Amino acid sequence: MSEIHPPEDGHQTLVENFPNGVLVLFDSALRYRIVGPKTLPFSERKATDLVGNNIYEIFPEETATELEPVLRSTIDGTTRSIDIKYDERVHHIETKPVDIDEDPYGVLVTQDVTDVRKTAKELEQQNKRLDQFASMVSHDLKNPLTIAMGELEQYRETGEDANLDGIEVALDRINDLVVDLTALAQSSNPPTETESVSLAAVAQSAWEIIESQSATLTIQNGEINGNRSQLQALFENLFRNAIDHGGSDVTVRVGPLDDGFYVEDTGDGIPETEQERVFDHGFTTGDSGNGIGLTIVSRIADDHGLTIFFSKSAEGGARFEFRQSNPES
């Protein structure tokens, strides 16, 4: 059987018609020596216009500076695999060192992976939200469920219709939470139904739904724009966190800021070494709580375009400031 040889000009044809990407042979001076295909798929530039040019002559300085150590390490014998952003697109680059006539060269292949990386990031975010969703629902539903069960037990003992009213309030709150937390978990966009909300009214409603024990709430009124039910969930979780960590007799204060509002308490505050982690899913500094509440606060704030700033109150307790990320929006 006769030996099969590559067709004449086959290698050149392969380079010039390289599909779905760019193929490059570069030298130790980081010059492009061979480039294919004839017309580059990303930029529509001609391959012949790149041949013989150094990467600093081909790309903007920022891109070339990022690319240089990758290509130099390839010339030194190391295979590389990286993503690099260029011209508002994400390109995946694979390199391999080769020797030609005992001189070091590198082979580079790059493909546009913008859509692939975007999809992967969206899936990662979606999975994270779905993972948190179960915890969020069970966490926020626990309080009104406890209230409803307590009111039901009282009704069985006394037969007072007032207890049925308490059950109705708790069940309405459960229904609101199911609707809003489901939408919150499924969407990364800000809530579409927003209105001007009284700071005092929404904070007082949140205070009435939690087990405030001997704690005290003081409110300086103002107006905030947002989804009322989600904002109430935000306050409920902040108040519950203050009582869990500040004690049953803690004082909680709520008031307006020029570009948002604040919530602070007179508790012990959060240690500086742990402040960066307070919004991490599942993180808690105490024996009580499951570390979900402040995750919910962070998510609701983010969906309302609010940036959270953490500091200390005058008494050393926790102070959360919620400020508009983009006041003009």
Select from 131, 166, 188 the last residue of a domain.
Answer: 188
pLDDT at 289: 47
| 218 and 156 fall within a common domain | no
With respect to residue 321, please indicate whether it lies within any of the assigned structural domains: yes
| Domain termination residue (choose one: 188, 204, 224) | 188
Radius of gyration of the chain (CA): 30
Backbone dihedral angles phi then psi of residue 40, each to the nearest 5 degrees: -70, 135
Shared domain for 25 and 49, answered yes or no, is yes
CB 203 within 8 A of CB 223: no
Name the pairing type of β-strands 318-324 and 80-86. Answer: unpaired
Taking a C-beta distance cutoff of 8 angstroms, is the pair 73, 94 a contact? no
DSSP assigned state of 139: H
Nearest 5°: phi and psi at 10?
-65, -40
Q: Which two tokens stand for residue 158?
A: 């006394």
Q: 23 and 104 in one domain?
A: yes
Same domain membership, residue 146 and residue 257: no
Q: Looking at residue 159, which CATH number applies to its domain?
A: 1.10.287
Residues 95 and 134 in one domain: no
Q: Which domain holds residue 127?
A: 113-188
User: Are residues 76 and 59 in contact, defined by beta-carbon separation less than 8 angstroms?
Assistant: no
Residue 36: which CATH number? 3.30.450.20
**Same domain flag for 235 and 294:** yes
Q: Is residue 93 part of a domain?
A: yes
> Is 1 domain-assigned?
no
- pLDDT, residue 329, reads 42
Residue 5 located in a structural domain? no
Per-residue confidence of the chain (329 residues) as pLDDT tens digits? 567 777 877 788 888 888 889 999 999 999 999 999 998 887 888 999 999 999 999 999 999 999 999 999 999 999 999 999 988 899 999 999 999 999 999 999 999 999 999 888 888 877 776 776 666 666 678 888 889 999 999 999 999 999 999 999 889 878 877 765 665 554 445 566 789 999 999 999 999 988 777 999 999 999 999 999 889 989 998 998 888 888 889 999 999 999 999 999 998 887 676 666 666 655 555 544 445 668 778 888 988 999 999 889 999 999 999 999 764 44
Are residue 152 and residue 236 in the same domain, yes or no?
no
- pLDDT for the residue numbered 182: 61
Q: Is residue 3 in a domain?
A: no
User: Is residue 4 in a domain?
Assistant: no
Provide the 10 A C-beta neighbour count for residue 265.
28
The alpha carbon of residue 11 and the mean position of all alpha carbons in its chain are separated, in whole angstroms, by 46
Is 46 domain-assigned?
A: yes
Shared domain check, 100 and 124: no
State residue 229's pLDDT score. 87
User: Do 202 and 281 sit in the same domain of this protein?
Assistant: yes
Domain count, the chain: 3
Residues 254 and 287 placed together within one structural domain of the fold: yes
Contacts of 63 (CB under 8 A, 6+ apart): 84, 86
Same domain? For 147 and 89 the reply is: no
Domain boundary among 112, 139, 162: 112
Question: What CATH code is carried by the domain that includes residue 304?
Answer: 3.30.565.10
Residue 25: inside a domain, yes or no? yes
104 and 70 part of one domain: yes
DSSP 8-class letter at 191: P
